[in-house]
Amino acid sequence: MTLDKKIINEAILQISNDIMPVDPAELNVLGGKAGIAYFYASMYKYFQQEVYLEEAIRRLEIVVDGLNAGNLLHQRAAFSIGDGVAGVAWVLERMRNMQCLEESEINAELEDMVTYSLQVDAHARCYDLFYGVVGKGVYFLERYPEGASFEQLVRIVDMLEDFSTYENGYRKWPDQLKMKTENGTEPIYNMGLAHGLPSIIIFLCKVIHTVPAITKARTLLTDALHWLRSFRTDTLNDAYYPSLVVGNACKNSGNLSWCYGDLGIAVALLSAYEITKEQAHYDEAIQLAQRCSLRRLHNSGIKQSRKKQVHDVCFCHGSAGLANLFHRIYQKSGCIEMKVTAEYWLHTCLYQGRNNGLPDSIGGFMGATVGKDRRTKWRKDPGLLNGASGVGLCLLSFADGSANNWDSLFLTN
């Protein structure tokens, strides 16, 4: 089912052309201007056409001007990697490492802002990838070894230890939220890659690999893996691991996605295997991925339009994201079954998720959102996490043919 690179390139170029006139109000990386700037920087690295670098820099200059005007500071998570300053800082560092930008005063200024914001995170005890210290750790990993990145990575690992509870060889990270049950208020333990334990595990693996002098990270990793593996069960539908643990009760979303489910846990276990060389982690990761590889569009949980003209293709919980995840698992494991599954989801994205006859699409792709009435609404979405620029980056990873690090923001590289 291998696709002609020409078809992939045509889809990428159509996304690029359709995004050009789109100007989201948000400055952030997940759904706003900063993420689109990163998309165009990646376009430049692949196609080597100056127009893409110019567009990336143009959008980034608007973002920096907005930062200087304080336009991000009213956000709920103004300094986070998802919605705030750390995300813009990550894009600047990523583009510097891609040799699209040079180090400038703004890099150091943003580092100071992110560093200062860690005081707030220490009080809130928020580890979240998008809104807490794990995301800021991802930024400092991208910045390393520049500036105070080493000191801040040490600090973040210490904070992760402080946020956790340790019992009987298990290290747990409770969510900020709690749930009311018939037994009273119960702690929530999030097991999804987007907001939970797998993101902590992968971050710790990256710290150990990049900055081995931070020895505490290895101890935390060992304890976190014991906690994760303790929840392996055969009692859930379509999964071996829960999406949430409420008290001692396991809950499962059942969907195939990056944000929640066994695929994210498989990526975390493969990352752990690369650090620990424990065969059990590799074997478990492949078993999880193989079970996930048996599912197809109709039983994946991916949202489809009523007439099945399109389906959700986004990185977070769509077909492009699944293609990227299976592609990454293949690159890490060499398992041919994962390569075949990645190609299935790539084909599904391009031939079943794309409809050029839709007037309000980007590259033939639509974004799916669920309203307060729980109805799915389809709209034009240029964003990185849930929209077309993220789809374009997934496609670029196939067209490029190399293990580039475009998705380090999402801990899947």
User: Minimum mean pLDDT among 47-56, 68-77, 115-124, 332-341: which range?
Assistant: 68-77
Cα separation of 261 and 35, whole Å?
25
**Residue 73 — very low, low, confident or very high, per pLDDT cuts 50/70/90?**
low
Q: Is pTM beyond 0.75 here?
A: yes
Token pair recorded at residue 383: 């964003």
Cα separation of 14 and 9, whole Å?
9
**Nearest residue to 324 (alpha-carbon basis) of 334, 310, 336, 338:** 338
Q: Tell me the Cα Rg of the chain.
A: 20
Cα separation of 350 and 339, whole Å?
17
Amino acid at 387: G
Token pair recorded at residue 24: 């989201």
Token pair recorded at residue 284: 């478990």
Cα separation of 95 and 63, whole Å?
14
Q: C-alpha angle with apex 333: 99 to 336, nearest 5 degrees?
A: 110
401 has a pLDDT exceeding 80: no
Token pair recorded at residue 253: 């979303």
DSSP 377: E
Q: What per-residue confidence (pLDDT) applies to 182?
A: 67
C-beta of residue 358 within 8 angstroms of C-beta of residue 307: no
Cα separation of 221 and 230, whole Å?
14
For the stretch 258-289, pLDDT in tens is: 999 999 999 999 999 999 999 999 999 999 99
Q: What per-residue confidence (pLDDT) applies to 400?
A: 84
**Residue 251 — very low, low, confident or very high, per pLDDT cuts 50/70/90?**
confident
| Burial class of residue 85, CB neighbours in 10 A (0-12, 13-18, 19+) | buried
Mean pLDDT of the chain: 93
Q: What per-residue confidence (pLDDT) applies to 173?
A: 96
User: Minimum mean pLDDT among 54-58, 124-128, 303-307: which range?
Assistant: 303-307
For the stretch 353-382, pLDDT in tens is: 998 778 889 999 988 888 778 888 888 999
Token pair recorded at residue 101: 């930008």
DSSP 379: E
**Nearest residue to 340 (alpha-carbon basis) of 326, 328, 352:** 326
Q: What per-residue confidence (pLDDT) applies to 69?
A: 86
Token pair recorded at residue 122: 């220490």
Beta bridge partners of 24: none
Cα separation of 112 and 108, whole Å?
6
